[in-house]
Chain A
């Protein structure tokens, strides 16, 4: 048992912290947030410095590092600014599908450009009215000639306006693996693909979101990831990994909100003393810091155990669930410490609160994690 980070991990954490401090200008962020624009320049620079996809193998443009290193970076980014941090953290969203299950050609073709900031990736899996159920989709791929014909609709697809591939998971029909799922790589300029931007929302406003309509869209067989019928397994695996990313985002957002509240509690005076000297505020800060530490421990543990033989996805679900809840509660309490100031847009804390509320939908949305944890611990009765 050893809870310390290696020297290399500490260096990476420090580099990410310094990058965020230098590049995430609060005024620029306020403007991007207001306009709902992607932090394009900052993303490019983050890629130049190797912060995106560092857990990819070197031949795929990465640095052969572990998931924990990636978590440290995402956490630091979200800590400095929830909006920019989420945008950067999600820029490679779903590219793990290609990394884990794609063939060499696909990896070479798509992954280096994701780390270089030429491409962002998108994972299209959610459908409207689907609830927490991933076992069946309405979007279908029908085998046709040497490829597939795709029809249907996906929503909450991230990075929709950025260049880069869409990894689509849909239902397979008309084949031997009828009823199974399939994962396909779809290029954004393909005929038959329509993208409808999803507009205003509570948080995560810098991340372009769209619903996609597939109308007799043709996909070649070369775009199939892995084998037919593996889509469900692949998706669950990738979402498990995305849960770790979401947990890192949640931990970072919580820490960032807490940093702001702590600073404010130290300098704000009421009733002739710093408000940080009032027991009610001190208790609240102590509770927040405790919760963040718990979220961080679970997040790091989930990143550490990922890919290990004795690893179980249960810890990923727990990490995501705890981090998402912690982000929301800590951001809420942090805003509260600011009083009326906290509710004003000029103060970053209101954005942390809005963004924190959306950590829950990254990876597995809603309360899917809770059901999956229960499945694992209870088993078949």
Chain B
């Protein structure tokens, strides 16, 4: 048992923290207000090698581990969860799915630019009638000659419609040739595929800088060899990498909860006597004590899940714990800190107002809290 970070892990955490503090934090309010994707910040992340941390060097990665990756996600999210979300989708889900299930050709073509951060990937699973019930998708893919012909739509898809979005990995229903049975496969859809259209950007309560769109496939054609992995196991493949996505949301929400906590401490330290008096009684200090404890537990949970993954061990439950505990902790802490700041914290110029609105999102995305509990409970019996 050793809870110390390794030298490389520590270095990645420290670089991420420095970058988050110096480059990201000053821009976070602006990004939220304008809702514009921060191309320049993301390009700097790419230069630092952040999108490729856990990937082998031969595929443009840094040859690091998933613990390091998640330390980076936590630190960036502490300044802006938007960047944690970009890393989650790009690296933990899309990049990893290509790494594990892609052909050598697919890795060369799509993974390398993603690992280098030159391009971003997206994954399209959710549909209007397939949210928590992700297998209820209606999008179809039919093999016609040398092409897949895709019809349907996807919604709430993050990392789409950007200048450098290269591909969307979608789930689609198809008929198995051998027995005609309906199965779910995953297919790579490049942004310029004919018949593929990106809809309007969603207007969200917060996290407005995230590029989230509806996607339309109208006789969209992609070459036959853009199928990813085993045609029979598309859904399972996708769920396998989403397991890492859960660890990522755990890290992201740990960063968010830490950011809320940082604000509370700064408010009490730097504020006037009125603020400091908050610390001379017990209500607020006891709350802060609980917050510090929960953040540490949240952090320890995602790190354990990431560590297990690095060891090649099963970590299904731990990933669910990290996502569920992290997201619920962040939402709770954001609301509590908002109260400490009351009434000023409600104003846009105070970061806590942003954190409060952002936090709720993470109890919903990549599996609602109910889905997390459902899967955890199933694993217990």
Which residues does A use to contact B, with CB under 8 Å?
A: 126, 128-131, 133, 156, 198-204, 269-272, 278, 280-281, 328, 332, 335-336, 339-340, 342-346, 350, 353-354, 357-358, 360-361, 365-367, 370
Contact B136 A270 (CB under 8 A): yes
Task: Apart from A270-B133, A339-B132, A350-B205, list 13 A-B contacts with CB within 8 A.
Answer: A199-B349, A202-B356, A270-B129, A270-B132, A271-B132, A271-B136, A332-B360, A335-B360, A343-B361, A343-B364, A357-B338, A366-B339, A366-B342
A365–B335 CA distance with the chains assembled, in angstroms: 15
CB of B323 to closest CB in A, whole Å? 15
Cβ-defined partner of B202 (8 Å) among A336, A344, A360 = A344
A354: B residues at CB distance < 8 A: 205, 357
B129: A residues at CB distance < 8 A: 269-270
Most A-side CB within 10 Å, residue of B133, B202, B339, B343: B343
Contact B342 A365 (CB under 8 A): yes
A370: B residues at CB distance < 8 A: 283
CB of B373 to closest CB in A, whole Å? 7
Contact A339 B338 (CB under 8 A): no
17 contacts between A and B (CB under 8 A): A126-B343, A131-B277, A131-B278, A156-B343, A198-B347, A202-B357, A203-B346, A281-B370, A336-B364, A336-B369, A340-B156, A340-B365, A344-B204, A353-B360, A357-B335, A361-B343, A366-B342
User: What residue of chain B has the Cβ atom nearest to residue A209's Cβ?
Assistant: B347
B331: A residues at CB distance < 8 A: 332
Cβ-defined partner of A367 (8 Å) among B202, B204, B339, B369 = B339
Contact A360 B342 (CB under 8 A): yes
B204: A residues at CB distance < 8 A: 343-345
A199–B271 CA distance with the chains assembled, in angstroms: 21
The answer to whether residues A200 and B275 also contact, given A343-B204, A365-B342, A367-B283 and a CB cut-off of 8 A, is: no
Cβ-defined partner of A280 (8 Å) among B203, B271, B272, B370 = B370
Contact B368 A199 (CB under 8 A): no
CB of A372 to closest CB in B, whole Å? 13
A270: B residues at CB distance < 8 A: 129, 131-133, 136
Contact A357 B346 (CB under 8 A): yes
Which residues does B use to contact A, with CB under 8 Å?
A: 33, 126, 129, 131-133, 136, 155-156, 202-205, 271-275, 277-278, 283, 331, 335, 338-339, 342-344, 346-349, 353, 356-357, 360-361, 363-365, 368-370, 373
The answer to whether residues A201 and B348 also contact, given A129-B272, A340-B131, A342-B364 and a CB cut-off of 8 A, is: yes
A365: B residues at CB distance < 8 A: 342-343
A278–B373 CA distance with the chains assembled, in angstroms: 13
A278–B133 CA distance with the chains assembled, in angstroms: 13
The answer to whether residues A343 and B360 also contact, given A270-B133, A367-B283 and a CB cut-off of 8 A, is: yes
Contact A202 B346 (CB under 8 A): yes
Top 6 closest pairs, chain A to chain B, by CB: A200-B348, A131-B274, A129-B272, A361-B343, A270-B133, A345-B203
Cβ-defined partner of B275 (8 Å) among A129, A269, A328 = A129
A200–B350 CA distance with the chains assembled, in angstroms: 10
CB of B130 to closest CB in A, whole Å? 8
B335: A residues at CB distance < 8 A: 328, 357
Cβ-defined partner of B131 (8 Å) among A202, A328, A339 = A339
Cβ-defined partner of B205 (8 Å) among A131, A272, A280, A353 = A353
A342: B residues at CB distance < 8 A: 364
B373: A residues at CB distance < 8 A: 280
A361: B residues at CB distance < 8 A: 342-343, 346
A271–B136 CA distance with the chains assembled, in angstroms: 7
A340–B133 CA distance with the chains assembled, in angstroms: 13
A156–B136 CA distance with the chains assembled, in angstroms: 48
Contact B347 A201 (CB under 8 A): yes
A133–B276 CA distance with the chains assembled, in angstroms: 13
CB of A187 to closest CB in B, whole Å? 25
Most B-side CB within 10 Å, residue of A200, A278, A354, A357: A357
A199: B residues at CB distance < 8 A: 347-349
A130: B residues at CB distance < 8 A: 274
A203–B346 CA distance with the chains assembled, in angstroms: 8
Cβ-defined partner of B363 (8 Å) among A269, A271, A272, A336 = A336
A15–B102 CA distance with the chains assembled, in angstroms: 64
B131: A residues at CB distance < 8 A: 270, 339-340
Most B-side CB within 10 Å, residue of A269, A278, A343, A360: A343
A343–B158 CA distance with the chains assembled, in angstroms: 14
A257–B88 CA distance with the chains assembled, in angstroms: 31
A280–B377 CA distance with the chains assembled, in angstroms: 13
A318–B272 CA distance with the chains assembled, in angstroms: 29
A332–B328 CA distance with the chains assembled, in angstroms: 12
User: What residue of chain A has the Cβ atom nearest to residue B132's Cβ?
Assistant: A270
A367: B residues at CB distance < 8 A: 283, 339
B368: A residues at CB distance < 8 A: 336, 339
A272: B residues at CB distance < 8 A: 133
A129: B residues at CB distance < 8 A: 271-275
A346: B residues at CB distance < 8 A: 203
User: What residue of chain B has the Cβ atom nearest to residue A284's Cβ?
Assistant: B370
User: What residue of chain A has the Cβ atom nearest to residue B274's Cβ?
Assistant: A131
B364: A residues at CB distance < 8 A: 336, 339-340, 342-343
A360: B residues at CB distance < 8 A: 339, 342
B357: A residues at CB distance < 8 A: 202, 354
User: What residue of chain B has the Cβ atom nearest to residue A269's Cβ?
Assistant: B129
CB of A365 to closest CB in B, whole Å? 5
A269: B residues at CB distance < 8 A: 129
A335: B residues at CB distance < 8 A: 360
A278–B374 CA distance with the chains assembled, in angstroms: 12
A281–B361 CA distance with the chains assembled, in angstroms: 18
A358–B364 CA distance with the chains assembled, in angstroms: 22
A346–B344 CA distance with the chains assembled, in angstroms: 27
B344: A residues at CB distance < 8 A: 128
A347–B186 CA distance with the chains assembled, in angstroms: 31
A131: B residues at CB distance < 8 A: 274-275, 277-278
CB of B258 to closest CB in A, whole Å? 20
B205: A residues at CB distance < 8 A: 343-345, 350, 353-354
CB of A157 to closest CB in B, whole Å? 12
A198–B349 CA distance with the chains assembled, in angstroms: 10
CB of B172 to closest CB in A, whole Å? 19
A335–B356 CA distance with the chains assembled, in angstroms: 14
User: What residue of chain A has the Cβ atom nearest to residue B134's Cβ?
Assistant: A270
A342–B342 CA distance with the chains assembled, in angstroms: 25
User: What residue of chain B has the Cβ atom nearest to residue A366's Cβ?
Assistant: B342
User: What residue of chain A has the Cβ atom nearest to residue B273's Cβ?
Assistant: A129
CB of A361 to closest CB in B, whole Å? 4
User: What residue of chain A has the Cβ atom nearest to residue B206's Cβ?
Assistant: A343
A263–B348 CA distance with the chains assembled, in angstroms: 32
